[in-house]
Structure 1
Amino acid sequence: MTTAIVWFRRDLRLADNPALVAAAGAHERVIPLYIHAPDEEGEWAPGAASRWWLHHSLEALDRGLRRHKGALQVAIAHERAPTGGEGSLEVLRKVIKETGASAVYFNLLYDPAIRKRDAKVRKALEADGLDVASFNANLWCDPWEIATKEDEPYRVFTPFWRNLRTRIDEHAALDEPTPLRLDALKKPVSIDSLGLLPELDWAKGFHEWTPGEEGAQEMLSLFADDAVGHYSEGRDLPARHGTSRLSPHLHFGEISPRQVAERLRAHFARRKNAPDLEPYLRQLGWREFGHHLLWHFPDTPKKNFNKKFDAFKWAKRDAHALRRWKQGKTGIPIVDAGMRELWATGWMHNRVRMLVASLLTKNLRQHWLLGEKWFWDTLVDADLANNAMGWQWVAGSGADAAPYFRIFNPVTQSEKFDPDGAYIRRWVPELRDAPGKLVHAPWEDEAYLKASGYPKPIVDLKATREQALLAYQKSKS
């Protein structure tokens, strides 16, 4: 009887899990193993909000495995393994020795530190005589499968998407393997012992999320039943649930883009006047583009993708301004609403993400790295590829980025996309009773502003826009 280890990482689901399906099909017994090894992710170990999600996602996966009369086996990798090897490698070797497993299966991740770790682990295990197999579970195509006619990685999204779009229907999503015969360790550790939850319960507002495979499918059903039909216009309105809100589920691999596309097509297959799914599929394409960029350009989370931006003169780090930005006390209503939504729920509407990033990097001229790191700690969907791509896009230094002269005006943006101020009124209670357009720019009535208790704007939007443009022009010359 042969036994295989399935090494779970950010593929926390049972359906459409290629590593699990392959292991279950080739071996009599499967050990579903999660190794907690945040130190192996370098400076990009999961932030606080991601750890909260991970805890609940692991519990959900464990419940799914118990339907198969087994359980998720959890182990902790020490930062410095006794033999001087990688922590995860040492754990795998111990499990192999204890169980007699002859193979290790896992799904690929594309973060630079994890790629290096996985390569070392694979080489060592194969030298030990183990069979090692890896699979693509979380993208439509692996990054090395798509290239320009010159065999170069794409740097612009539109031609990338044209290429990818022809391939997204090539493979069907895999069913959950059954029967699934599971094996267990003698002394697995508990999920609670990983210490992922905060000591202070700052995550009370996260109750609207349901981490796990079942929660991902429920969120997709809600999207299919309503928002997808109005996605083109609804996705820009922060007061509405006009987006899929699947980003954290996709990040933790509780659902795959292949499952999402397949389920949406099936949902509307026999309906007349079915909505156009292309705008949403294109957004999933942007997610994929970010992962392909990270694979080909692994320095993008820390360095300007466009090296011309190395000459740009950022303002000196302003701790006071940065603190007000983080706390949602900039005096710019739409920005403060977004930052408060982020702190309360671990998520922020994508349109508002662009606005808060523009204020930080352009009006305040603080380096995009400062915003990237704050989002990394506070977003439940903090994803290295897409977080870096998003911040560099707004700053103007990234691939296919917004032009340097695109500086979002948060007042006109909120008037356009939150016209009655519903989003602002929800997250900025000081302005709940603001009359008319004052909800977007309360400083236009000094008496009202003083009475409301809301702070004055941290910057003059017009003046700082001009200063930013001047700085960009100097860096170009």
Structure 2
Amino acid sequence: MSSPVIVWLRRDLRLSDQPAIAEAAGKGPVIPVYILDDETLKHRVMGGASRWWLHHSLASLDATLREKGSCLILRRGKCEDVLPRLVEETGACEVHALRHYEPWWRNAEKAVGKAVTLCLHHGNYLAPPGSVTTGSGSPYKIYTPFWRALNERMPPSEPQRRPQKMEAPDSWPKSDDLGHWNLLPTKPDWAGGLRDMWEPGEEGAKKRLRTFKDEAARYESQRNLPAVEGTSMLSPHLHFGEVSPSQAWHAVSSKGGTVSTFLGELGWRDYAQNVILQFPDYGSKSARDNFESFPWRSGKAAQDDLKAWQQGRTGYPIVDAGMRQLWHTGWMHNRVRMIAASFLIKHLLIDWREGEQWFWDTLVDADYASNSVNWQWTAGSGVDSNMFVRIMAPLTQSEKFNAAAYIREWVPELANLPDGEIHDPSPVCRPKDYPDRRIEHRAARERALAAWDEAKGE
């Protein structure tokens, strides 16, 4: 029997359209490996919601592999230490993996590549990050020309089928017990809403994609309506690599209507990776210099406001509905994410990094590139971003996008209010158990604009 080949899995937990697995399966016995490496991630260790998802995604992948006579080997530790030991244990000739672009994974790939024969493949994005450049060969910083150039290279290659069989090694190396990793919450078990809403794993991703295919043509008209859930809800499956962007593209691109808007969102995902490739610290450092001296609020009052925002107790129904949906399900509707983020930054004048960190811990689709790019876009601090002075009016947004049913679902204190009151309850109709607004919109706007003038030195 030929020497086994290790497949190093990270955010690519699928068998279909997985180039590292396809290549390894053609070379000999395959040993699929997932390493829980909190040491390499350091302050970017996965948050609680992501760890819940990871547990179930790994269990699903292992079950699928066992159907093929294979299994998933689990190890814990630093990848650059664990993989060389595993190569020595198994006599593996090579390690295959999909390339990742977060700064910690790029560093880990370099370190692993010095110790073993590491073969990296592209497969998590429409085009390899860094490959879409201007005529002069420079990377794009602005989304619109980036998307135009990327779209000219589309469609992506047809998705590969999963291997028909995966040869097993003569003997399997020892594996950790997934349950011993304690990825699931127990004291307390806060994941009931996640279990009700999601099915992590490749099969769950396929079901979600099949459901979305029927709605993809109406994407533009429905994606901004929180009560309709008109978005694809594929983001956590894409983040964990349970479905490839190529699979998503080819599944819906022929549906007509406004599906091109959804394809542009896949392009935004590629764009975000392009940004962190240029600016590895984008999740912690504002791209525009004047934001480094921005007068963000601090102290007890600001901390109280931050806590109220996290708990969905701001007194703004659309914001509170979104924050409670996030806590209960690990996900928030895209339009409401923008409203809630803008509210934290511009109404409460709290540093965008506080919001980015909260989303990192509570989102099942917490993606370093997308999360940091989206927060900096909202703050106005990004290389391509909304202007700070464009301040969303949450009460107006709520009514504009017909969020009444959405608010009733997530803010039950307001469930009995009529549509005319629920977006902005008057003092007469406001239930006693629902909080007053943390700040009035006009006062918040004036304070935010004054802070912006101060940051500019005016």
What code does the residue aligned with 2:3 have? Answer: T
Q: Would you say the 8 A contact 1:41–1:113 is kept in 2?
A: yes
Q: Would you say the 8 A contact 2:317–2:407 is kept in 1?
A: yes
Tell me what 1:271 maps to. Answer: none
2:439 to 451, 459, 463: 459
1:404 to 358, 380, 388: 388
Alignment of 1:21-420 (within 5 A): 21-25=22-26, 27-77=27-77, 87-125=78-116, 131-183=117-169, 185-199=172-186, 200-206=188-194, 207-225=196-214, 227-265=215-253, 268=255, 274-317=256-299, 318-418=302-402
Shift of the alpha carbon at 1:399? 2.4
Which sits farther off after the overlay, 181-190 or 102-111?
181-190
Alpha-carbon distance change, 170 to 431 in structure 1, aligned in 2, over 3 angstroms:
closer
Which sits farther off after the overlay, 281-290 or 95-104?
95-104
Q: Would you say the 8 A contact 1:32–1:182 is kept in 2?
A: no
Tell me what 1:433 maps to. Answer: 416
- Structure 2, unaligned stretches of length 5 or more? none
Q: Would you say the 8 A contact 1:347–1:381 is kept in 2?
A: yes
CA distance in 1, matches of 2:115, 2:175: 23
Which sits farther off after the overlay, 183-192 or 456-465?
183-192
1:20 and 2:11 are equivalent in the alignment? no
Q: Would you say the 8 A contact 1:6–1:30 is kept in 2?
A: yes
What code does the residue aligned with 1:258 have? Answer: S
CA distance in 2, matches of 1:468, 1:20: 51
1:423 and 2:406 are equivalent in the alignment? yes
CA distance in 2, matches of 1:338, 1:182: 47
Shift of the alpha carbon at 1:264? 1.7
Shift of the alpha carbon at 1:170? 4.4
CA distance in 2, matches of 1:329, 1:159: 40
Q: Would you say the 8 A contact 1:68–1:182 is kept in 2?
A: no
Q: Would you say the 8 A contact 2:319–2:339 is kept in 1?
A: yes
Tell me what 1:83 maps to. Answer: none
Shift of the alpha carbon at 1:452? 4.2
What code does the residue aligned with 2:453 have? Answer: Q
Deviation string 1:285-315 (CA, Å, 9 cap, x unpaired) is 1111111101111111000012232232212
CA distance in 2, matches of 1:393, 1:114: 24
- Structure 1, unaligned stretches of length 5 or more? 78-86, 126-130, 269-273
* Matched residue SS, 1:31: strand
Alpha-carbon distance change, 353 to 276 in structure 1, aligned in 2, over 3 angstroms:
closer
Which sits farther off after the overlay, 166-175 or 316-325?
166-175
After TM superposition, where is structure 1 displaced by more than 3 Å over at least 4 residues in a row? Answer: none
* Matched residue SS, 2:318: helix
CA distance in 1, matches of 2:59, 2:346: 41
Superposed CA RMSD = 1.3
What code does the residue aligned with 1:411 have? Answer: L
What code does the residue aligned with 1:42 have? Answer: K
CA distance in 2, matches of 1:276, 1:358: 27
Percent same amino acid among aligned pairs?
43
CA distance in 2, matches of 1:336, 1:70: 46
**TM-score normalised to the size of structure 1?**
0.92
CA distance in 2, matches of 1:454, 1:277: 39
CA distance in 2, matches of 1:308, 1:289: 24
What code does the residue aligned with 1:11 have? Answer: D
What code does the residue aligned with 2:247 have? Answer: Q
CA distance in 1, matches of 2:387, 2:433: 36
**TM-score normalised to the size of structure 2?**
0.96
* Matched residue SS, 2:370: helix
CA distance in 1, matches of 2:335, 2:415: 21
CA distance in 1, matches of 2:81, 2:136: 42
* Matched residue SS, 2:391: coil
Tell me what 1:448 maps to. Answer: 429
1:468 to 445, 448, 454: 448
Count of residue correspondences: 451
